């Protein structure tokens, strides 16, 4: 997986999360929407920051933060689905995108650690 693919997918995912947050706020849901808004957009921000890391350790640390944010976002997505704020079809699309990013992050972290 190339870095640009990871950056592109994380940006696309952040856009999806922002649109989800807009929808949730229209339905007067503010607790989870605030949480998922922060974690879901933070993934891409940390991936972007990793591009200008101060060495290997900083690069790995930024990607690990992005991975933690992706895991948190997955939790909020599941909670939104289980509390009927989002339909199963929307949950599956968003969860799949989030899982794809997590897989790429794990691979990137492992590769960086090997070098």
List the domain range (segments joined by +) for residue 75.
3-114
Which pLDDT score is estimated for 3? 57
Neighbours of 28 (CB within 10 A): 7
Interval 15-34 mean pLDDT: 95
The pLDDT of residue 4: 87
pTM: 0.93
For 72, the token pair is: 């948190």
CATH number at residue 95: 1.20.1440.60
Does 1 have pLDDT greater than 50? no
pLDDT, tens digit (0-9, with 9 covering 90-100), for 82-114: 999 999 999 999 999 999 999 999 999 999 999
Tens of pLDDT, residue by residue over 26-70, are: 999 989 999 999 999 999 999 999 999 999 999 999 999 999 999
The number of distinct structural domains making up the chain is 1
Return d(Cα 4, Cα 24) in angstroms, integer.
30
pLDDT number for residue 115: 82
């Amino acid at each position: 997986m190339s870095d640009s693919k990871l950056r592109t997918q994380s940006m696309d995912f952040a856009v999806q999360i922002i649109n989800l947050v807009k929808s949730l706020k229209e339905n007067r849901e503010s607790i989870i929407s605030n949480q998922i808004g922060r974690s879901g957009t933070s993934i891409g921000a940390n991936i972007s920051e990793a591009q200008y890391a101060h060495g290997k350790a900083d690069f790995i640390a930024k990607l690990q933060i992005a991975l933690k944010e992706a895991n948190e976002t997955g939790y909020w997505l599941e909670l939104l689905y289980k509390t009927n704020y989002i339909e199963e079809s929307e949950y599956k699309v968003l969860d799949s995108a989030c899982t794809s990013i997590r897989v790429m992050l794990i691979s990137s972290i492992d590769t960086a650690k090997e070098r």
